[in-house]
Chains A and B, each alone.
Chain A
Amino acid sequence: MGQETVINAADTAWMLTSTALVLLMTLPALALFYGGLVQAKNILSVLVQCAAVAALCSVLWFALGYSLSYSGDGDWLGDGAAFFLGGLTRDGVHPGTHIPESVYVMFQMTFAVITPALIIGAYVERIRFAAVLVISALWLLIVYSPVAHWVWGGGWLAKMGVMDFAGGIVVHVTAGVSALVIAWMIRPRHEFPHGIRPPHAPWMVMVGASLLWVGWFGFNAGSAVSSGADAGMAMLATHLSAASATLTWMAIEWIKFGKPSLVGAVTGTIAGLATITPAAGVAGPAGAVLLGAVASCVCYLAVWLVKRVMAVDDALDVLGVHGVGGALGTLSVPVVVLVGAGGGHLNHAGMEQFTVQAIGVVSVAVFSAVATFVITKAADLLVGLRVDREHETQGLDFATHGETGYHINR
């Protein structure tokens, strides 16, 4: 255990790099990915929501979130010892790693930023800006921090041996399920489902998705918290899953509609990335290619189910792409490890590991749904969830922020 006090320069350098890559995923990657999917009159509202959530959750992470997630070894929640990062020293080493505590705090902060930001996709084009802030703040502390503690901070799921390498459960299941609950509670955009306008800038969706793809190398390979073999294999698996999922979604659309679309292809990319996330620590290259292909098939169906069958206006498909992808990847961990060469090791024998993974997914999904319901109710009472119909028609850019995204020919 004496090793733990030694800072390793290579590990630290890679984790600094990874941290920057993961922040890039929110600013601007996710902002552009979501921004291109909405109508032109709402582009700025999505960008400012992403920026504001990133800033707000960073400060809350410093104040409360980090301590609730990563301080102490309680089953349910961290303690208050690291509130306001009070005990952080310059040369402190994070236990069990060879990187400075400051870098670990910062790396995890970028995850705490992107997870509430993912939920933005559910409520765009109709939410009050104040509700975005209230929901994101409460959600970070009430949903994200406890779940991060359960899975990564030594809580009850970690003790049970659940395997979530980079956030299938902690990031994607929490965000996806919560997105569905909020989308349901805030009710659909008034044109839903038949009058909804198509994405205003598919090219922007592609730029965002591409930046997410690159940033995801920090997300997954950085989750090795070292710069060695695990990080290398995680990056390879991540890339191959994304590539395979891109091709698969493209093929589905090409066969079904006769044309392979750009928005479809890059949606496949994101489905493949979300799905490999929990499995990036155990999948070899062949397993990753297979998982990516399955991810696009399953997420394609999920997007259709939510929109057409459940009729919930999860506007940018947060549940269908992220939630379902994260759950699929988590449940696939015991299978994907067996495919081809280069696989890692499970904590338990196959079937037993599957049971633990399922307990993780289901318990976190139920907890996220219930807690998000309460948070959204509270936000509704405090500040109100929706803008009025006139502002919704006018667009949130001008109605809420007093700005206009495009001044062309005017």
Chain B
Amino acid sequence: MKLVIAIIQPHRLDSVRLALTEIGIAGMTVTEVRGYGRQKGHTEIYRGAEYTISFLPKLKIEVALPDERVEDAITAITRAARTGRIGDGKIFVLDVVQARRVRTGETGEDAL
């Protein structure tokens, strides 16, 4: 089992959700986060004074998957989240040690 973590532009959420649904992946957790990468924030100007906004709003999507679905999911997320401009985000894949569905007590891939 793997956990796919994708940091994306907030306005790409709907298309990412749609892309994952289309390849049969149901369920995700979304968190509003702030951060920066190479893009290093931006500046805003109020009354002639420049303000540096270091941390930009992003969304963090987390999806737990069986190993064989990971490549499909990464491809779908990349296609749907990409605008081609700086700040499109990153995808990370982590090993998952255990999973359990709270309602039924199922474990492992059955719980996903």
Instruction: Name 10 interchain pairs, CB-CB below 8 A, sorted by A.
Output: A193-B49, A196-B51, A198-B44, A253-B45, A253-B48, A261-B45, A264-B46, A300-B48, A303-B47, A317-B47
A contact residues around B47 at 8 Å (CB)? 263-264, 267, 303, 317
**Chain A interface category by residue count:** 20 to 34
B51 touches A257 (CB 8 A): no
A197 touches B51 (CB 8 A): yes
- Residues of A with Cβ closer than 8 Å to B? 193-194, 196-199, 202, 253, 256-257, 259, 261, 263-264, 267, 300, 303-304, 307-308, 317, 409
Determine if B30 is an interface residue (Cβ-Cβ < 8 Å): no
B contact residues around A304 at 8 Å (CB)? 48-49
Name the residue of chain B whose CB is nearest to the CB of A308: B49
The 10 A-B pairs of least Cβ separation, nearest first, read A198-B51, A263-B46, A304-B48, A257-B45, A198-B44, A303-B47, A198-B46, A267-B47, A199-B46, A307-B49
New contact pairs (5) apart from A198-B51, A257-B45, A300-B48, CB-CB < 8 Å: A194-B52, A261-B45, A303-B48, A308-B49, A409-B32
B contact residues around A307 at 8 Å (CB)? 49
B103 to chain A, nearest CB (A): 26
B94 to chain A, nearest CB (A): 25
A111 to chain B, nearest CB (A): 26
Determine if B28 is an interface residue (Cβ-Cβ < 8 Å): no
A contact residues around B53 at 8 Å (CB)? 198
**Chain B interface category by residue count:** 10 to 19
Per-residue 0/1 for B8-21: is the Cβ within 8 Å of any A Cβ (1 yes, 0 no)?
Answer: 00000000000000
CA distance A261 to B50 in the complex (A): 13
- Residues of B with Cβ closer than 8 Å to A? 32, 44-49, 51-53
Name the residue of chain A whose CB is nearest to the CB of B32: A409
Name the residue of chain A whose CB is nearest to the CB of B45: A257
Name the residue of chain B whose CB is nearest to the CB of A316: B47
A contact residues around B49 at 8 Å (CB)? 193, 196, 304, 307-308
A261 touches B51 (CB 8 A): no
B54 to chain A, nearest CB (A): 10
B contact residues around A409 at 8 Å (CB)? 32
Name the residue of chain A whose CB is nearest to the CB of B44: A198
CA distance A197 to B45 in the complex (A): 11
B contact residues around A253 at 8 Å (CB)? 45, 48
B92 to chain A, nearest CB (A): 24
A contact residues around B51 at 8 Å (CB)? 196-198
A contact residues around B46 at 8 Å (CB)? 198-199, 202, 261, 263-264
A contact residues around B32 at 8 Å (CB)? 409
B contact residues around A303 at 8 Å (CB)? 47-48
A contact residues around B45 at 8 Å (CB)? 253, 257, 259, 261
B contact residues around A264 at 8 Å (CB)? 46-48
Q: Which of B44, B48, B51, B53 has the most CB of A within 10 A?
A: B48
CA distance A261 to B47 in the complex (A): 9
A contact residues around B44 at 8 Å (CB)? 198
CA distance A402 to B32 in the complex (A): 27
Name the residue of chain A whose CB is nearest to the CB of B51: A198
CA distance A7 to B76 in the complex (A): 79
Name the residue of chain A whose CB is nearest to the CB of B46: A263
Name the residue of chain B whose CB is nearest to the CB of A37: B46
B47 to chain A, nearest CB (A): 5
CA distance A202 to B51 in the complex (A): 14
Name the residue of chain B whose CB is nearest to the CB of A257: B45
Name the residue of chain A whose CB is nearest to the CB of B53: A198
CA distance A112 to B55 in the complex (A): 43
B56 to chain A, nearest CB (A): 13
B21 to chain A, nearest CB (A): 25
A contact residues around B48 at 8 Å (CB)? 253, 256, 264, 300, 303-304
CA distance A193 to B47 in the complex (A): 14
